[in-house]
Amino acid sequence: MPHKKLVDSIRLFSSFARGSAGLILRGNRAYWIWLAFLAALIVSGALAWSRQLQIGLGLTAMRDQVSWGFYIGNFTFLVGVAAAAVVLVIPAYIYNWKPIREIVIYGELLATSAIAMCLMFVLVDIGRPDRFWHLIPPFGHLNFPRSVLAWDVLVLNLYFGVNFIVGTHILYRAFHGKSYIKRLVVPLVLLSIPMAVGIHTVTAFLYNGLASRPYWNSSILAPQFLASAFCSGPAILLVVLQLLGRFTRFEIQDAAIWKIAELMAYAMFLNLFLHGAEAFKEFYSGTQHLLFTRYWYFGVNGHYTLVPYAWSAVALNVAAFVLFISPSGRRNVITLNLGCLATYAGCYLEKGMGLIIPGLTPDTLGEIYEYYPTATELRVAAGIFAVGFLLFTLMLKVAVPISLGEFTGRKESSVGVFAGR
Amino acid sequence: MHSTRSITATALFGLSGLALLAAADGAKTPSAAGPERVEVPPPPFSDGIFPCSNCHAGMTPDRQRRELTAMHTDIVLKHDETHRWCLDCHDADNRDFLHLASGERVPFDESYRVCGQCHGEKYRDWRAGVHGRRTGSWNGAQSYLLCAHCHNPHQPRFHALAPKPAPRPPRRQIK
Amino acid sequence: MVTRRLFTKTAAGAAAGMILTACGPKRLYEAPRDKLKARIAEMERKYKEEGKDVKVSDAGPAQGVHFAYALDISRCIGCRRCVYACVAENNQSRDPQIQWIRVLSMEKDRGVDFSHANAYYHPAEVPEEGHFYIPVSCQQCENPPCTKVCPTGATWAEKDGIVVIDYDWCIGCRYCMAACPYGARHFNWTEPGLPAGELNPNTHYLGNRPRSKGVVEKCTFCIQRTRAGRYPACVEVCPVGARKFGNVLDPESEIRYIIEHKRVLVLKEELNTVPRFFYFYAT
């Protein structure tokens, strides 16, 4: 009887909801300190944003000359992080490599949190957030297919949907002691591979397609985005997985971690190579377009704000590559984590500020306005990161016990936790 | 007399030109070629200086090229002054007129014809509306100014202007 | 298989969508004339409530008209009177300062070179020795990079060539500002500061009507004047007559004369934006 099924579903879901709430509200001191820290950042960010809503984007350091800045830089970086889930999916599903199978779900949860942060960064960056619905047909009008931003809106939300559906489906089914529906999950997961490449390619095309900005108008941009994405996302994941292994009964195979680090090393090599190729083209051809690259690495006309960040990014990325390219570097827990940190920081610098600001400085009429974020921007960005981390933390708080079989709504187990049907 | 005939001819041309202008719906730009008269605001005379015949009617013209000492000493000629002097443009016999190289008398409100003798390209551009300032409609009646409205015919080189304020450079702090 | 339930659900969804789109605010782009008039009356009413007594024109593009502009860089002396005439005519914010025209001082021995241009020159007198001046504002391109990137379709090129912005539809994402090679678009980073006594009440719905914070604006060839047949404010105020404007489709226009007899050039032609703003040397 359909009526009984509906009642059953609601009952099951409410037990899941209640159970999840219980999990979330139970934790050790480290957990609560972490949550309090995130809450503080969120409150600070919310206050800063409300002031920005009142007074306008003039509270940021962005002006006509540099009309995109910290918010969009973070957005770009996080799209890369979201795309990185594919680094796990490919070995797991294409090469059917078992050690990674169990952790694909965490890549998807990371992707979901990252996309949520991306959407938040866009929301705080636009001049009229109250009009964001102008983008949503049929209420609004999406300039598809001419505007690359319209494409980005579509693929980001689609990717969000795919990851959210697959992640929650697998977990919820595992909660029930049921295996996930292969017919639903496997095609979506396989779809997420080209989609991951797609979201970051489209985001790269946002910049790539603008003839007015020679620094961005380079064919190398899309491949370079993907290369740096495939190192930065897994960097976070590796740290998180080790933390999970430390603080929960979750066990992750060393082989999985080492394999991911190895893939990151190759991605970082590609990233460095592509940056090098770009630098060669600019410096050797020596046209006026060199000005932007020059501003980033060496400063121009007495303006040096970004130079320390440029070389830090290079040093961090090279160090990360050196650490990860050797198997012993990957296996040593200290160098492994140093490498992750270096990757994350290096990619964050060169993808965030290192992409946006030099692209807009000097501006189209040759003027140099030195942009660096204001306190408002830093607070709002920190708040958004905190929301993302909070989402990820809470999702993990429920997902890990499910994967360990500790949090379950089933009466007795008859199948493995993450088995497909 | 030759000059009387040319004055009549000019007047006739002028009248027909005027009629043409008046008849045209939203006066069309007069063509670059052709002697059509152009409608302009009154010439920028200094106060009380015109009509010149008030003083000059009774005087005998002195055609000797010299530096003036008795009157008009405030006018310093810096306009091809090595080769030209006053009476090369001003009509010696009737100071209420200018004259062309042919001797044809030209009234002050057609002084563009005098300037156009040497500055033919500018004259052609001015007739087309491309040289000089214009106000009005792009598809209708437009104003023309005389050369003399912007260029002092005795010292035509523009003086430098004080520029309006530079834009404010972008600042991190607003207010 | 289409069950009755499926059909009803789909129909209901479509109906809701249509109702919402029909009732909700829409773009001004290609708004039908009667709706446009109603919207504009609504605009005027709202402005009045805010204490801004303006008239908003709904003049559309005329047939057989495609505007073009020509600027004589052998004449421009960099006096900036065009900048301030534009600011006054088009109700630009005074504080924070928005100026649709930017006059660049360039060095004669470098020629037109943006990497050595200076917009902040302030000598006692202009023109300065060894410098020439290039004012830059929206080039009203025929292949505009800005209109193709707008995600909501809030900016488009009208039939008479003017690229316009629907200030009520723009979400302020500033993608168009990144796309413009001429730095012609400006953003309202805060609420525009316009003293009441300096408001120009003759406005156009796509032009100089008062804007709010968070939207992009730019030169519209003084659409409120040019669609009424007049010259833009900058053309009229220029003391040396360096600015020329007209209908490029009219063989008798000044613009066609300039194209024929003077040598015109455009800025950044390699970007293929096909600007309708020409620069030329009359001498």
- DSSP per-residue string spanning C160-204: TS-EEE-TTT-----HHHHH-TT---EE-SS-----GGG---EEE
Among the residue ranges A161-170, A242-251, C250-259, the one predicted with the least confidence is A242-251
Q: Which residues of A touch C183 (CB under 8 A)?
A: 64-65, 363-365, 367
Q: How far is C190 from chain A (nearest CA, A)?
A: 5
Of A156, A164, A250, the closest CA to residue A205 belongs to A156
Contact flag B133-C239 (C-beta cutoff 8 Å): yes
- C138 inside 8 A of chain A by CB: no
Pick the residue from chain B with its C-alpha nearest to A373: B172
**CB C224, CB C106: distance < 8 Å:** no
Chains that touch B (3 or more CB pairs under 8 A): A, C
Helices (H), A332-374: 333-348, 354-360
The pLDDT of residue A241 is above 80: yes
Tokens 């100089």 locate to: C208
Task: Among A64, A131, A211, select the one facing C186 at the smallest CB separation.
Answer: A64
Q: What are phi and psi of C133, to 5 degrees?
A: -130, 140
Q: Which residues of C touch B132 (CB under 8 A)?
A: 241
For the segment C56-83, the average pLDDT, to the nearest whole number, is 96
Q: What does pTM read for this prediction?
A: 0.89
Of A111, A99, A115, A88, the closest CA to residue A264 belongs to A88
Mutate to test the interface with B, among A51, A63, A65 (most CBs of B within 10 A): A63
pLDDT in tens, A6-19: 888 888 888 888 98
Q: Which two tokens stand for residue A303?
A: 């303006």
Determine the pLDDT at residue C192: 96
Among the residue ranges A171-180, A209-218, B156-165, C128-137, the one predicted with the least confidence is A171-180
Q: Which two tokens stand for residue A1?
A: 């009887």
Render each residue's pLDDT in chain B as its tens digit; 175 residues. 444 444 444 444 444 434 444 333 334 445 455 567 888 889 999 888 889 988 898 889 889 998 888 889 999 999 999 999 999 999 999 999 999 999 999 999 999 999 999 999 999 999 999 998 888 899 877 788 999 999 999 999 988 999 999 999 999 887 5
Q: Which residues of C touch B143 (CB under 8 A)?
A: none
**CB A25, CB A418: distance < 8 Å:** no
Contact flag C21-A363 (C-beta cutoff 8 Å): no
Q: Angle formed by the axes of helices A70-83 and A221-247, to 10°? A: 70
How far from C134 is each of A64, C63, C77, C103, C209, CA to CA, in Å? 19, 32, 9, 6, 27
Task: Among C24, C116, C214, select the one facing A128 at the smallest CB separation.
Answer: C214
**CB C78, CB C86: distance < 8 Å:** no
Strands C131-136 and C55-57, how do they pair?
A: unpaired
How far from A208 is each of A156, A222, A337, C125, CA to CA, in Å? 18, 8, 33, 43
Q: Which residues of C touch B27 (CB under 8 A)?
A: none
The whole-angstrom separation of Cα A134 and Cα A141 is 6
- Amino acid residing at A400: V
Q: Which has the higher per-residue pLDDT, A31 or B17?
A: A31
Contact flag A374-B172 (C-beta cutoff 8 Å): yes
The whole-angstrom separation of Cα C138 and Cα C216 is 13
Q: How many CB atoms lie within 10 A of CB C115?
A: 15
The whole-angstrom separation of Cα B110 and Cα B127 is 12
pLDDT in tens, A88-132: 777 777 777 777 777 788 888 999 999 999 999 999 999 999 999
For the segment C225-231, the average pLDDT, to the nearest whole number, is 95
CA B141-C235-C227 angle, 5° bins: 60
For the segment A197-205, the average pLDDT, to the nearest whole number, is 94
Q: How many CB atoms lie within 10 A of CB A205?
A: 17
How far from A261 is each of A328, A346, B98, C259, CA to CA, in Å? 11, 16, 93, 63
Q: Which SS3 state, helix, strand or coil, does residue C134 take?
A: strand
Q: How far is A209 from chain C (nearest CA, A)?
A: 9
State what percent of residues in chain A have pLDDT above 90.
Answer: 66
Q: Which two tokens stand for residue A266?
A: 């190759």
The whole-angstrom separation of Cα B21 and Cα B25 is 8
pLDDT in tens, A180-190: 888 988 898 88
**CB A177, CB A413: distance < 8 Å:** yes
For the segment A365-389, the average pLDDT, to the nearest whole number, is 96
- Cβ neighbors of A124 (< 8 A, separation 6 or more) are A49, A52, A71, A380, A384
* Global ipTM: 0.92
Determine the pLDDT at residue B34: 52
The whole-angstrom separation of Cα A231 and Cα C185 is 37
Cross-strand partners of A420: A180
pLDDT in tens, C85-114: 999 999 999 999 999 999 999 999 999 999
Chains that touch C (3 or more CB pairs under 8 A): A, B
Pick the residue from chain C with its C-alpha nearest to A360: C178
State what percent of residues in chain C have pLDDT above 70.
Answer: 92
Tokens 């979330």 locate to: A24
Cross-strand partners of B98: B90, B106
